[in-house]
Chain A
Amino acid sequence: MPSTERPLLAAVDIGGTFTDITLQEATTGRAWTAKTPSTPRDPSEAFLTGLRLALDLAGRDPGEIGRVLHGTTVATNMILEGRTARTALVTTSGFRHVLEIGRADLPRRDNLWAWVKPRRPVPPEHVFEVAGRIAADGAELAPLDESGVAAAARAIAAMGAEAVAICFLHAYANPAHELRAAALLRELLPGLAITASTEVLPVLREYERSMAAVLNAAVMPAVSTYIARLQARLAEAGIAAPLLLMKSNGGVAGAAAIRRSPAQTALSGPAAGVVGARAMAAAEGVTDLITVDIGGTSADICLIEGGRIGLTQSGRIGPWPLPLPMLDMVTIGAGGGSLARAGAGGLTVGPASAGAEPGPACYGRGGTEPTVTDAHLYLGHLPPRLLDGRMALDPALAETALARVAGPLGLSLEATARGILAIADNNMVGAIRVVSVERGHDPRGFALVPFGGAGPLHGAALADLLGMRTVLVPPAPGVLCAQGLVAADLRAEFSRSLARPLDAVTEEALETGFAALEAEAARWFAEEAVPPEAQSRSRAVLMRYAEQGFELPIPFAPVAALGRDFAAAHQALYGFDLPGIAIEVVTLRVTATGRLHALPPLPPSGGDVAAATLGTQPMRLAGRVAEAPVIARTGLGVGASVAGPAIIVQLDATTLVPEGWRAEVGASGALLLRR
């Protein structure tokens, strides 16, 4: 924990191109940021270079760092790119094809005749069956065949596996066989990464649980190596502070916990950004927000209500289900690099993307198809140079690319550019609606927080479409992840099944269940060294109507009130309740949080608009061209107010203030856009 001797927090976010470092003094809120090119071959190199840069900038000593926070995309990228370790799966006799069959999961929006089944991370020849059987209620029907485990171990050694997942039927009800098999395999296969499904996720449904175990095992060797290397680098630099990593649920955990359960970092990167958005909004007094993180190829959308980040346990990563608690995030293929195309069906935008290479046509790196970024440039939403002038944009190339689409559609260049933006915005609006309605929220009551390189170009347009009145653009929209890391709390969930009808649940049963979970939480607090004053826990009862398949989490209350609270929540969320139908309790859950008490960053020190204005540039508005001011974000102090049309430029992003909108710098440095 940071203290007066070691008051600095260091946050490191490693992106594809740059590694961003934020150093913050926990006692004062002062912050320093540094940027260094990423080193993909060994990311820990840039990690250390960046830390040293930041320390030099701050003029501080490595020994003053009290905590190092990190969001990692190592696991995510391995899974998405299919570059995981050579992995074996040990399963119950008769279920060798559990991954191959899956849920017969042809996606609803795919064409039955065109769809090709994705290749599983473990092929069936690397799945080994072992006899032994647990029943649905946890009773042992047949003992574990330990000689079968030994035979599997020999086969696994012979195939040259680096990792092993174990998933036995009904292990969520009784993990004894799994844990015994894991112990045997650890003994017989020293040095291999071994994961039992119940160590990752003790829930029903064998395909999903097998996949979670497989993905966890398959990323474990690389994540372990990676973390070990980071720790070595820290030691090398004289930093003795603990290393904490961002999990998919928006909390951080110690390196030891992540090495055991690396699949928890599948959404580590996006989670850091969302936590950063939450912290930034909180500093402006906003707790209900929808975040839109728009990058080059995709947009990630998340909803935060009352300061709580929505989590789901039916998330996916690429084509695979990963039912670990993670951000309830919708990702769609709409970003700055999304390609616009004219086909038989008219104009479409995305999901195909120009990516980082060649990138949008206007980057001049060989791209010829028009992208969302080209449309922005044509309309005058982007300055002619990005990244503090280091990167020039070529409007002629954008026009040529737009003409390729405009011609066949018989549209003007301007109508095409506006159309591309309108379609991209609309796709995002659809995703925002899905995120909101699934939790029964009306987006009009929320503030929109656009971030990522392309987010602030779209914020106002999205808000207009959704009837949202406030847009909050973070001080550094392109490096929000590092700020999220600084702001994150330690967080873990503990749950246990208590499957019974609500009218058979006693106060005593609830208390016993919650007490056991809180004891687990206490052990976790001890492992993470959270001081008592920073600890908090909350209890939730997951309930549903008898025979439904999804539960709603209801805050803990006396038994008598739970049924009423559940019915009210069901009515609010779905539009109906079912009086007279029995309610079931399914799971008890305790969420444990270790508050790390970072201070918000200090407000910006800039001045008024006139001083910050760099010049003007032509912007195409409906029916005319206006000279729109170009304003330097860093020059704007608290209270500065910019009337649209204008663009506000900074190192990592450009904010579009459309006509009829006004942007004002808030107390914490965020830009508040209002109509």
Chain B
Amino acid sequence: MSCDAVTLEIIRGAARAAQAEMEALLERTAMSAFIREKKDFYTALFDAEGTMVVGSDLPIFGDIVGPIARKFPLETMRPGDLYWYNDCYGSQGAVSHTNDQVFLAPAFLDGVRVGFVMGWAHFSDVGGLRAGSLSPDATDHFQEGIIIPPVRLMRDGETNDALLEVFWRNGRFPTQSRGDTRALMAAVRLGERRLEEIAQRFGADTLADAFAQLLARTEAVVRAKLREAFPIGTTRFTDAIDSDGQGNGPFHLRLALTRMEDDRFLLDTSATDDQAPGPVNFLMHPDVPGMALGLYFLQGEPGQVLNAGAPRALDEVRRRQGSLLAPRAPAPLGLRGITMMRLLAALHGLVAVARGGEAPAAHSAYVVLALRGMHEGKPFLMSDGVGVGYGARPFADGTDAVYFVAQENYPAEFMEHSYPVRLHRYALHMDSGGAGRFRGGCGVVREYEILAEQAVLAIRLDTVKNPPWGVAGGMSGGAGAAVVNPGTPEERHLPSLSDGTVLRRGDILRLSTGGGGGWGHPHDRPAEAVLADVRGGFVSAEAARRDYGVAIADGALDEAATARLRAQRPPAGAFHRGTYADALD
């Protein structure tokens, strides 16, 4: 039965409401700070065959149901089933590091399967080499925590408790793990009930047709926008991550997007560098680039949802086995976020090349600091996700101090309440936003005093040697750094991607994070906007003079000097990373 435009909108709204309910339940009941304070969790709804129909606005999902269905055929599923995995290689990249747990339940109407519901959350520790399970020191995926292959956790509503016991026993913080597991299971059960109610209300056939339409129209929008953006032929873009934390790098991501004469699209990533010995490999599910471009092209389309229709707009995605984007098992994967974030920037780079700069500048990769040790007789793990600057856009400044979609920071008061640290400073990182007509977003500075007797630190920073590029005349963003005891004789600069640094009580750690690239020539930014940036601590007076040609003395604009500076407008190029260039490599 076909679903009319009205019913379609109602089903979309009901699916969104079901997601909101699941998220509310998770946030209220989960235990680890990573889930309840940082909010590293997502939900999605799928059709009866397991195709993602209503996702989250997060461009990293692959084929979630497929790995389950390969082991448990769809026709053997029953009401009351609940499935689970975190197996990266086993799911071919549907999950891309072991901390992310996927829980999935089929929903039924009168014994007929009508869809699936997913709850996904990052667990703070699942065992492995170091607390937190993600370490720049990992050389092998088996050091990154317990691997749960696709399993059936519940059958007919009965839980296989032994599986959970094994999982909890393999983590360092079993109480948190237990609370988080139960919260995620309850959220999925709630979503399942809601999907069943939707099916009840409209009938399974109408629901199926609505799902098919949601997929088709997302695909159609993304395809149309791809055609608008890309000429026939091949568009290329190359970007790079700095290192793998083990002395190797840089690693280049080389993308080639071809629009064929018949308007088919082929994304070829096979010229990307070989896989890394360290854990920066990104086991990229072939759906990911389509999801990422989908999120970009669905801007300004509030009625559309990001779903598996977006990847369908790319007719083929090629990866090369043994490359950074298709590593061979058991290459370590834990810090794949670095590569994933660079991939997103590189996809925007393709758009920028094709559209003469009409695309966002590059962003920094989000930063995570892990501090572990013993304090007052108890082990602690502080995984602090820290925001960065995002790229400036053809219509607005880049966003300051954002981590990634929907994830929040830890307040200083929460940190000091929960972990043996004191924060001396939490501020915007001045001059980290790339200069431009629109300024790149600023990263942040977070300064910690260590209160534990001793602790071991891991730092995850990228875009230090290859800062986020600016576009259309905009300049690249500033880099981050991690410095111990700055301004003292004991000052130490830590490698940007490293583990095993021992810190002692009283040590000061200053972490600064990178900004986003700028968009448009900096001399075109109104002098008043530059003045406001200087007064607000986003831009220094020196950088205002050097990059923007704006003279500011004692917090006021010197208009005559500004006119003289701006008379000497430096030539710009299409891209900027340290210097202007027509193309990056």
Q: Shortest Cβ distance from A196 into chain B, in angstroms?
A: 16
Q: Does B402 contact A347, Cβ atoms closer than 8 Å?
A: no
Structural contact, A344 and B303, CB atoms closer than 8 A: yes
With contact pairs A101-B409, A345-B217 given, residues A426 and B182 touching in the complex (Cβ less than 8 Å): no
- Band of interface residues on A: 35 or more
**Residue from A97, A102, A135, A136 with most neighbouring chain B CB atoms (10 Å):** A97
Q: How far is the CA of A349 from the CA of B9 in the complex (A)?
A: 9
Interface residues of A in 387-422 (CB under 8 A from B): 409, 411, 415, 418-419, 422
Bound complex: CA A117 to CA B423 (Å): 25
Q: Which of A94, A113, A411, A575 contacts B424 (CB 8 A)?
A: A94
Task: Find the B residue at minimum CB distance from A330.
Answer: B20
A585: min CB distance to chain B, Å: 16
Cβ of A343 under 8 Å from chain B:
yes
A575 engages B190 (CB within 8 Å): yes
Report chain B residues within 8 Å CB of A504: none
Q: In chain A between 95 and 121, which residues have their CB closer than 8 angstroms to a CB of chain B?
A: 95-98, 100-117
A103 to B407, CA, bound (A): 8
| In the complex, chain B residues whose CB is within 8 Å of the CB of A94 | 423-427, 447
Question: Which residues of chain B come closer than 8 Å to A207, judged between CB atoms?
Answer: 411
**Residues of B close to A581: CB separation below 8 A:** 175, 178-179
Contact with A along B518-558 (1 / 0, CB 8 A): 00000000000000100111100000000000000000000
A409→B17 contact, CB < 8 A: no
Partner of A434, one of B17, B182, B404: B17
Is B69 close to A, CB under 8 A? no
Determine if A411 and B5 form an interchain contact, defined as CB atoms under 8 angstroms apart.
Answer: yes
What's the Cα separation between A550 and B404 when bound, in Å?
Answer: 23
Contact with B along A151-174 (1 / 0, CB 8 A): 000000000000000000110100
Looking at A94, A98, A345, A411, the one whose CB has the most chain B CB atoms below 10 A away is A345
Are A101 and B400 touching (Cβ within 8 A)? Answer: yes
* Distance A419 CA – B13 CA, assembled complex (angstroms): 14
Partner of A206, one of B5, B20, B411, B444: B411
A503 to B216, CA, bound (A): 56
* Closest Cβ–Cβ distance, residue A119 to chain B (whole Å): 11
Question: What's the count of A-B pairs with C-beta under 8 Å?
Answer: 227
Across the interface, do B21 and A434 meet the contact criterion of CB distance under 8 Å?
yes
Given contacts A94-B425, A108-B406, A434-B21, contact A136 B532 (CB under 8 A): no
- Whether the Cβ atoms of A115 and B303 lie closer than 8 Å is no
Whether A106 lies near B406 (C-beta < 8 A) is: yes
* A570-B30 Cα distance, complex, nearest whole Å: 12
A308: Cβ under 8 A from any B Cβ:
no
Q: Does A599 contact B (CB under 8 A)?
A: no
Q: Which of A102, A109, A426, A576 contacts B14 (CB 8 A)?
A: A426
Per the bound structure, the CA–CA distance linking A124 and B30 in Å amounts to: 34
- A423-B10 contact in complex given A94-B447, A101-B444, A575-B186, C-beta closer than 8 Å: yes
Nearest-CB distance from B311 to chain A (Å)?
17
* B401 sits at the interface (CB 8 A): yes
A345 surroundings in chain B (CB, below 8 A): 9, 217, 301, 303-304
Q: A101-B426, A123-B536 are in contact. Are A437 and B295 (CB under 8 A)?
A: no
Name which residue of chain B comes closest to A95, CB basis: B426
Residue of A nearest to B360 (CB): A113
Contacts of B416 in A (CB 8 A): 135-136, 169-170
CB-CB under 8 A from A344, the residues of chain B are 217, 220-221, 301, 303-304
Residues 98-127 of chain B: 1 if any A CB is under 8 Å from the residue's CB, otherwise 0?
000000000000000000000000000000
A426:B57 contact, CB within 8 angstroms: no
Nearest A residue (CB) for B537: A124
In the complex formed, the residue of B with least CB distance to A430 is B17
CA distance A593 to B211 in the complex (A): 51
Question: Does A104 lie within 8 Å of B413, measured CB to CB?
Answer: no
Complex contact A104–B401 (CB within 8 A):
yes
* A125→B556 CA distance, assembly (Å): 13
Interface membership of A188, Cβ < 8 A: no
CA distance A347 to B32 in the complex (A): 41
Are B21 and A437 within 8 A (Cβ)? yes
Task: Determine if A52 is an interface residue (Cβ-Cβ < 8 Å).
Answer: no
The yes or no answer to A605 lying at the interface (CB within 8 A) is no
B133 to chain A, nearest CB (A): 18
In the bound complex, CA of A344 to CA of B447 (Å): 48
Chain A hits for B17, CB < 8 A: 429-431, 433-434
CB interface residues, B 289-337, toward A, < 8 Å: 295-296, 298-304
Do B186 and A117 touch across chains, with their CB atoms under 8 A apart?
A: no
Contact with B along A229-267 (1 / 0, CB 8 A): 000000000000000000000000000000000000000
Whether A574 contacts B401 by the Cβ 8 Å rule is no
- A111 near B16 (CB under 8 angstroms)? no
Give the complex CA separation of A576 and B17 in angstroms: 21
Q: Which of A24-32, A69-77, A516-524, A540-548 contacts B (4 or more CB under 8 A)?
A: A540-548
A-B contact sample (4 more), CB < 8 A, given A101-B387, A124-B428, A135-B416? A95-B427, A348-B303, A434-B17, A545-B179
Chain B residues within 8 Å of A, Cβ to Cβ: 4-10, 13-14, 16-17, 20-21, 23-25, 27-33, 36-37, 39, 56-57, 175-176, 178-179, 182-183, 185-186, 189-190, 217, 220-221, 295-296, 298-304, 360, 387, 390, 393, 396-397, 399-409, 411-414, 416-417, 422-428, 444, 447, 532, 535-538
Q: List 8 A-B contacts (CB under 8 A).
A: A125-B536, A206-B411, A345-B9, A419-B6, A430-B13, A437-B190, A545-B31, A575-B189
Counting from the closest, the 6 A-B pairs by CB-CB distance are A345-B303, A430-B17, A419-B6, A94-B425, A549-B36, A108-B406
